[in-house]
Amino acid sequence: MTQANKLQISAKDLVAPFLAGTVASVTGTAASIGIVLAAFLSLGASTEQTASAVFIMLLFYGLLSVLLSWRYKMPISIVWSTPGGALLVASGGLVSQGGLNFNTAVGAFMVSGVLVALTGFWPTLGRLVASIPKPIASAMLAGVIFSFCLAPFQAASNWPLIVFPAILVWFVLFRVAQIWAAPAAMVVVFSLVSIFEGIKLEQNSLVPHLVVVAPEFNLAAIIGISIPLYLVTMASQNVPGIAIMKTFGFDVPFKPVMVTTGLTSVLGSMFGGFNLNLAAITAAINANEQAHPEAGKRWLASVLGGVEYVLLALATPALVAFVHQTPRELILTVAGLALVGTITSALAQATEDPRLRLPAVLTFLVGASSVSFLSIGAAFWALLAGLLMMAWTREKQGKK
């Protein structure tokens, strides 16, 4: 197909891409928003800072999805790092126990964005990240989110009339419509909270606005937040995203995408946002034949989905204002239910290679322990422990 034919777009050509883009943007955002909101709550962000961060992230990844897809004529879907958000939920303990604050976390976000941009300029860095065995990276993620996956069941004793209906809805939908299980549970929790708690929204909380957050740089936060966030973003989002696109015949331009998402993440961090990256699951929705029979026109799905992300950004202030009036236990309940799929996948990947099972289990246990040493959180120590155990066991096997 020639470039000219690719650009001949009729109204009929927009129907399938619009449906695919809508499914990808709405379900992707709904399934992950609870994790992202819990992350900012855990890091101590104010209502205004959280609303600003979520707004700028949705706005930026909507615009990047439009611009990159249009520029390269392929369905390049940009989203926030959901595994990164899960990691940040766990990083809240590092911030509070280490005497840090949200400004310090923002400084860590900025460094992580710089690392992603550097990966584009210096592909060796990307290959180094890709060389970390998937079982170790997956075990680290599973470990740090483990305690949050327990949150729904721990909160049930204090909020039975809210949590049990949410778990029931999640349980049923996980069987019949898995992609809607976590969003529906979130709706149930927030609906029941509004009934029992009588939460009200002020008129000025409904208008999007940006709040500048001055970054503060701290070595412990860089080691404990920036590096794990970067590794999780690359290993769980960018690398799989590129692989998924290749299965549909699309060769993602590595350098432009890494540099663009990295630098945009740096800019977004000035308003509280964290890493933007390639989509993985939603990338498949926009790149398969259901998005358009002609591969050369599937980029329209990401463009239209990007426009919908921008529209969704306008609704974030009301959602964030509501969340900040909701008891923290119930926010973690929403996040915990949303993370069940993540921890299931992570644990499966962590134990898939018998040779790495012991290092992966050690990685998981250190991550789940929430240990903090030298003001550096569990994610870093879990990764370090796993890699050291891997090197030790391989050396021992080599001497036999």
- Sort 225 into a burial class: Cβ within 10 Å, 0-12 / 13-18 / 19+: buried
Query: What residue numbers bound the domain in which 61 lies?
Result: 14-399
The total domain count for the chain is: 1
Task: Kindly report which listed range (130-144, 309-323, 366-380) carries the lowest average pLDDT score.
Answer: 366-380
pTM of the model as a whole: 0.74
At residue 216, what are phi and psi to the nearest 5 degrees? -120, 135
Q: Tell which wins on pLDDT, 113 or 317.
A: 113
Q: Tell which wins on pLDDT, 204 or 271.
A: 271
User: Which tokens go with 19?
Assistant: 């449906």
Q: Tell which wins on pLDDT, 10 or 389.
A: 389
pLDDT band at 118 (very low <50, low <70, confident <90, very high): very high
Mean pLDDT of 104-128: 90
DSSP string, 160-189: HHHHHHHHHHHHHHHHH-GGGHHHHHHHHH
Write a three-state SS string for 120-140.
HHCHHHHHHHHCCCHHHHHHH
pLDDT band at 399 (very low <50, low <70, confident <90, very high): low
Q: Is residue 139 domain-resident?
A: yes
Is the Cβ–Cβ distance between 336 and 148 less than 8 Å? yes
Look at residue 1 in the predicted model and tell me its pLDDT: 40
Q: How far apart, in whole angstroms, are the C-alpha atoms of residue 258 and residue 384?
A: 25
Q: Give 321-379 pLDDT, tens digit per residue.
A: 777 677 778 877 877 887 787 788 788 888 888 889 999 999 999 988 877 665 566 77
What is the three-class DSSP state of 105?
helix
Mean pLDDT of 69-77: 92
Q: How far apart, in whole angstroms, are the C-alpha atoms of residue 131 and residue 365?
A: 22
Q: Is residue 385 domain-resident?
A: yes
Look at residue 5 in the predicted model and tell me its pLDDT: 44
User: Which tokens go with 116?
Assistant: 């992603």
Look at residue 217 in the predicted model and tell me its pLDDT: 93
DSSP string, 194-224: HHHH-----GGGGS-----------HHHIII
Look at residue 9 in the predicted model and tell me its pLDDT: 67
* Radius of gyration (C-alpha) of the chain in whole angstroms: 21
Q: Give 273-312 pLDDT, tens digit per residue.
A: 999 999 876 677 788 777 778 888 888 888 998 998 998 8
Mean pLDDT of 239-267: 88
What's the chain's length in residues? Answer: 400
Report whether pLDDT(124) > 90.
no
Q: Is residue 272 domain-resident?
A: yes
State the chain's mean pLDDT as an integer: 83
Mean pLDDT of 137-155: 83
% pLDDT > 70, the chain: 87
User: Which tokens go with 220?
Assistant: 């412990």
Look at residue 169 in the predicted model and tell me its pLDDT: 92
Look at residue 105 in the predicted model and tell me its pLDDT: 93
The CB density around residue 180, as the number of other CB atoms within 10 Å, is 17
Q: How far apart, in whole angstroms, are the C-alpha atoms of residue 299 and residue 21?
A: 10
Q: Give 1-48 pLDDT, tens digit per residue.
A: 444 444 566 666 677 777 777 777 776 777 678 788 888 988 989 988
Look at residue 174 in the predicted model and tell me its pLDDT: 85
Q: Which residue has the tokens 């949200």?
A: 102
pLDDT band at 180 (very low <50, low <70, confident <90, very high): confident
Q: Tell which wins on pLDDT, 256 or 149.
A: 256
| Residue in 158, 137, 38 with CA at minimum distance from that of residue 88 | 38
Q: Is residue 8 domain-resident?
A: no
